[in-house]
A and B are shown apart, each in its own frame.
Chain A
Amino acid sequence: MVRFWLALFALFISAPVQAQDKLIISIWGGSWRDLVAETVAKKFTAETGVSVDFITGGTIDRLNKEKLAKGNPESDITFTTSHVGWLYANDGLFETLDTSKIPNAKNLSEEARISPYHLGAWAYVYTIGYRADLMKDAKFESWSDLWSPELKAKVAAPDFDPSHIIAVSALLSDADAAHWEKGQDKLKALKPNFKAFYTNDANSQQLLASGETPVQIVLSMNAYYMIGQGVPITLVIPKEGAVLGIDTVAIMKGSKKAELAYKFINTLYDPEIQAEIARLKKGSPAVLNAKIDPEIAKLPGVFTTAAQWKQQINIDAKLRAEKTAEWRKWFAENIMN
C-alpha cells in the first residue's frame, strides 16, 4: 500500500506538460494580463497564428517559481518591474537580448533600455494625487509641499515600496537615491503627515475613494483608473518631476520558443500597440514613435518626447534592486513605527 501512495504522490507532483504550440507569458493578473492579452497578444496571434497563454501571479510568487524552475522555465516571456528584473537577471534567469531581432526596439527611449536582459514595456509615475474636493486650499507645486503642516495625518504612501519618497527626500536634501542617507532627516520630518500605508492598488483606491487619506503618493495609472470610476482625483507632477516607474519585458533563459518570444516583443514595440497601451492604461509608451491621442498625451505622467522622460526622477533600477531591502527596513523602523 505504501507503493500505492508513492505512485500517487509521484503522479501528483509530476509537472503538467506545457502546450508546445503556445507562447507562455508570465505577468501580474487582473487588468495587466488583460492589457497584454487585448493588445500585444491579439496582434501577435493574428500575425503568427501562435496563441498565447498566461501565467499570472504576484511579483514575488512568479520570481520564486521561476527561480525554482531555473533552466526549464515555466514561461517564455516575463513582465516585471525594472528593479525586480535585475533580480531575475542577477540569478541568470533572463536571456541576454539580441536587439537585432527586435527592430522596433530602436525607437525605445533611453530610460527604457534597462539592461542587456530586460527592456521597458511601458512606463508610469508615482506622484502626488489628491482629492481637491476635500482639500480646497491644497497646492502641490513641489514635492516639498507634502511636508506642509496642514497635511498632518492626511497622506498615504505604498507600504511595499518606499523608494519613491526616499528618492524624493534625498533630492530635497541635495542628494540622490544613491546617497539616500542624506534625506533621512527630511523624511523623518514627514512622519506626522502619514496617516496610513497602502498595501496594494485596491487598498490605495479604497483609501482615496473614501477620503480616508485625501493625499497619496500614488501610481499614475491607478489614479487614472479611479478618475475613470468617478473619484475626483487631481494628479500633479511636481516641479522636481515625478518618480519614474518602468515595467519591463524579458525572455526567460532556457525558453524553447525564443524566436517567437522575440517576435512577441517586437509586436509589443509596434507604435500602434504602444499607443493602444497608453490609451487603455493612461501610461507612457516605451517607444518615442507611438502616435498617441493628444488627450492622452497631455495627461501628467504620459511622456511622448525624450525630454519629458529626462525631466522625471529616475531611480537606477539596479541600485533600487540592491537597496530596496535596506530602504524598506529603514522605513519600517523609522517611519512606520
Chain B
Amino acid sequence: MNQQPFLRTFTTPAAFCALGFVAAMVAVLQYSLRAYVPGSLDPGGFTLANFLDLLKPFYARVFLDTVWICALTAVSTLLVGYPLAYALVHIGNPLAKSALLVIVVTPLFLGEVVRTYSWIIVLGNNGFINSVLRGLGLIEQPVQFMFTTFGVVVALVHVTLPVMVIMLAAGLSHINRDYLRAAESLGAGPIRAFLTVTLPLSMPGVIAGVTTAFAWTFSAFATPQLIGGGRVNMISNLVYQLGFASFNFPFAATLCVAGLALTIAVLSILRLAARPFENMEAH
C-alpha cells in the first residue's frame, strides 16, 4: 500500500516550478558566456570576456561593498530586532503584544519603493532628521545621510527588521522557561540569566535570522538604487544599470552568475562559522 498517496499530486506543481527555475538558470548561465553584439538583442558567440571584465577593480569593489552592506545590515538588524523579539515573547499583556506585533510586521505590507521614498523624506537634507537637528540648534549645515552607505543601511534595516524579529521570536519562544527559573533559583540575576541561559539558547534563532537577513539584503535593489543615488551600488544595481538600462544582457547575466556564486560562498562561510553556536541548545 502506498504510504504517501498524495505525494505525487502535491509535488507535481513544485516539479514544474523547479523545471522553470532550472531552465531560467541555464538561460542566464549561457547568456553569461555569450558576447554582446552592439545594437542587437541577440548575443554573439561564446566568450569568457564578460567574466574577465569582472576582474576590473570597480567590480571587485562593488562586490565587496555588497558583502559589507549585507553584513552591516544583518548585524544592525539583529541589534535592533533582538530586544523587540524578546519583548514580543515576554510581554504578558495580550493587547501590548498585538500592538508590538503589528508595528513590527507592518513594513512587510508596504511596497519596497514606498518604504524607500519614506526614508528619502526622513534622511534628506531638508528631511525629518536634519530639520530636527537644525531646530535644536545642533547643526548649521545638514548632515549628509542620502547617497551614503549609512543611509542605505538604515533603510535596509527597516526592510529586513520584520523577518529578523519573527525568526528571533520563534527561537526565543522555544526556550524552556524552567532553565531560567533554575538559573534564578541558583542566584543568577536577570542579566546573568540572560547572558548564560537565554542568549546561548537563542543562538539557533540568531543564526537563522542573521543568515536570512544577509541573503535577503543581497538582492536589495530599490533601496540602494534610490537612497544610494548611484553613489552606493550593490550587485543588483549594476545588473540593472549595465544590463537592462543599456541592453547588455550577456554582461548582466555574468553579474548575476557572479553574484549568485558570491552569495553561495558567503552563506557557506557563515554556515561554517556558525556551526559551533548551532549546537548550543543541546548542551
Q: Which residues of A are in contact with B by a Cβ distance under 8 Å? A: 1-2, 5, 9, 60, 63, 67, 86-87, 90-91, 156, 159-161, 195-199, 203, 206-207, 210-212, 318, 321-329, 332-333, 336-337
Known: A1-B8, A5-B16. 7 other contacts (CB 8 A): A5-B12, A67-B41, A198-B230, A211-B126, A329-B242, A333-B58, A337-B58
Binds A, one of B94-102, B176-184, B246-254: B246-254
Interface residues on B, range: 35 or more
CB distance from B211 to the nearest CB of A (A): 29
How many Å lie between the Cα of A105 and that of B198 in the bound state? 77
Residue of B nearest to A86 (CB): B39
CB distance from A122 to the nearest CB of B (A): 22
User: Are B124 and A212 in contact, with the CB atoms below 8 A?
Assistant: yes
User: Are A197 and B230 in contact, with the CB atoms below 8 A?
Assistant: yes
User: Are B40 and A87 in contact, with the CB atoms below 8 A?
Assistant: yes
Q: Which residues of A contact B12 (CB under 8 A)?
A: 1-2, 5
Residue of A nearest to B225 (CB): A199
Q: A87-B40, A91-B42 are in contact. Are A332 and B241 (CB under 8 A)?
A: yes
B226 on the A face (CB < 8 A): yes
How many Å lie between the Cα of A196 and that of B145 in the bound state? 12
How many Å lie between the Cα of A336 and that of B238 in the bound state? 11
Q: Which residues of B contact A323 (CB under 8 A)?
A: 38
Q: A91-B40, A337-B58 are in contact. Are A328 and B245 (CB under 8 A)?
A: yes
| Residue picked from A203, A322, A329, most chain B C-beta under 10 Å | A329
Q: Which residues of B contact A326 (CB under 8 A)?
A: 38
User: B208-236 interface mask toward A, CB cutoff 8 Å, 1 = contact, 0 = none?
Assistant: 00000000000000000110011101000
Q: Which residues of A contact B111 (CB under 8 A)?
A: none
How many Å lie between the Cα of A1 and that of B2 in the bound state? 15
Q: Which residues of B are in contact with A by a Cβ distance under 8 Å? A: 8-9, 12-13, 16, 36, 38-42, 56, 58, 61, 117, 120, 124-127, 146-147, 225-226, 229-231, 233, 238, 241-242, 244-248, 251
Q: Which residues of B contact A333 (CB under 8 A)?
A: 56, 58
User: Are B246 and A196 in contact, with the CB atoms below 8 A?
Assistant: no
User: Are B147 and A195 in contact, with the CB atoms below 8 A?
Assistant: yes
Q: Which residues of A contact B41 (CB under 8 A)?
A: 63, 67, 87, 90-91
How many Å lie between the Cα of A203 and that of B229 in the bound state? 9
Residue of A nearest to B229 (CB): A196
How many Å lie between the Cα of A37 and that of B16 in the bound state? 40
CB distance from A301 to the nearest CB of B (A): 23
Q: Which residues of B contact A325 (CB under 8 A)?
A: 36, 38, 242, 246-248, 251
Interface pairs (8), CB distance under 8 Å = A1-B8, A2-B8, A5-B16, A159-B245, A196-B147, A197-B230, A327-B246, A336-B230
User: Are B248 and A332 in contact, with the CB atoms below 8 A?
Assistant: no
Which of A195, A212, A328 sits near B248, CB closer than 8 Å? A328
Q: A206-B120, A332-B238, A337-B58 are in contact. Are A87 and B247 (CB under 8 A)?
A: yes
How many Å lie between the Cα of A63 and that of B9 in the bound state? 37
Top 10 A-B residue pairs of the complex, sorted by shortest distance between their CB atoms: A197-B230, A196-B229, A328-B246, A322-B39, A325-B248, A160-B245, A322-B38, A325-B246, A1-B9, A5-B12
How many Å lie between the Cα of A90 and that of B41 in the bound state? 8
Q: Which residues of B contact A197 (CB under 8 A)?
A: 229-231
User: Are B126 and A324 in contact, with the CB atoms below 8 A?
Assistant: no
Which of B40, B61, B230, B251 sits near A159, CB closer than 8 Å? B230
Residue of B nearest to A323 (CB): B38
Q: Which residues of A contact B127 (CB under 8 A)?
A: 210
How many Å lie between the Cα of A174 and that of B158 in the bound state? 49
Q: Which residues of A contact B231 (CB under 8 A)?
A: 195-197, 336
How many Å lie between the Cα of A150 and that of B138 in the bound state? 26
Residue of B nearest to A88 (CB): B41
